[in-house]
Amino acid sequence: MKVRRTKVVVVKKGSNKGVWFRINVLAIFLVIAVAGIVWLFLYSPVFEVRDVSYHGKVRVPEQKLSAAEEAIVGRSMFLVSLDSLRRLIESYPEVKKVIFKRKLFHTIDCYLIERKPVALILSPSVYGVSEDCVLLKNDLNPDYMDLPMITGLSAKELGTEKGMEKIRKAITVLNLFKQSGFEGEIEVSEIFIRDGDVSMVIGSKGTVIRFGKDKYDKAIRKLRAVFGILAREKHFPSVVDLRFDGQVVVR
C-alpha cells in the first residue's frame, strides 16, 4: 500500500504586509520627489525670468518693448510664453526674425536677425527695400549705399498699392537676375519702372535691359543666352530689349 505524502507550505501572515509597506513608502517618496522637481523648475524663484537681453545689429526701441517684457519677468522661464514679445519685435520692419534662447538661471536672450535691403528707393528720400518687398527706414547703414536704385516712383505712390506693385515688379526682376547667376558677374546700378514696364541698367557701360510688364522668368532666360554670346564676342550693347516673344532686340 502506497502512502501519499502532502507537503504543507505555511505562509506567515504579515510577510506581504512588509512588501506592500515598502512599495507604498517608495511610491510616496517618488511622488514627493517629482512634485519637488516640478515646483523647483516651474514655480520656484530659482528659474524665474529677471532679465531680457537683445543681441544683433538691429536696434529696436526697448522702451516700447517694456509692456511685453513685464508679462515675462517674474515668471518661470520654462512656463513663460514668448509669443507676444515675438510679435512685437517682428512688427519692426528692420527685424526679419527673432530667435529666443533661455539662459540659466534668469535670462531670456533675444537674437535679432536683420532684414537687409537689396535695393534703394529714391522718392524723394532714400529708403531701403528688402527681398520680400518691405520698406526700411531711411537712416540706412552707409554700407548699403551702393545697392541698385529703384526709380520711377513718386513720393505720393510710396506706401500705396500702386507703388507697392511697382516695387514688387522691380524686386522680382532683381531676384531673378541674381538667381540666374549674374550676381557678382554684372553689377546692377538702377531699376527703372515706367507705365508698368521694368528696365534695368547694368554693367560699367550702362547697358539698358528692357524686361516689359510680365513673364520675367522667360526674359531672364533669354538674357542669359544673349549675354553668353555677347561675352564671348566681348561686345556689350547699349540696349537689350526682351519684351517680344521669340526674339531679342539688341542695339
Between 3.40.50.300, 3.40.190.10, 3.10.20.310, 3.90.1260.10, what CATH number should domain 48-114 receive?
3.10.20.310
- Compute the distance between CA of residue 63 and CA of residue 72 in angstroms, rounded to an integer: 15
Note the CATH architecture for domain 117-250. 3-Layer(aba) Sandwich (3.40)
Q: List for the chain the helix, strand, coil content (%; round to 5).
A: 35, 25, 40
Beta strands across the sheet bearing 95-103: 51-55, 107-114, 95-103
Provide DSSP, 189-200. EEEEEETTEEEE
Q: Which amino acid is at 8?
A: V
Dump pLDDT digits (tens) for 156-215.
Answer: 888 899 999 999 999 999 999 999 887 667 889 999 999 889 999 998 888 999 999 999
What are the C-alpha distances in Å from 109 to residues 97, 105, 187, 236, 247?
14, 12, 39, 52, 56
Dump pLDDT digits (tens) for 66-111.
Answer: 878 888 888 888 888 899 889 989 999 999 999 999 998 889 999 9
Q: Which pTM does this prediction carry?
A: 0.75
**Residue ranges of the domains in the chain?**
48-114, 117-250
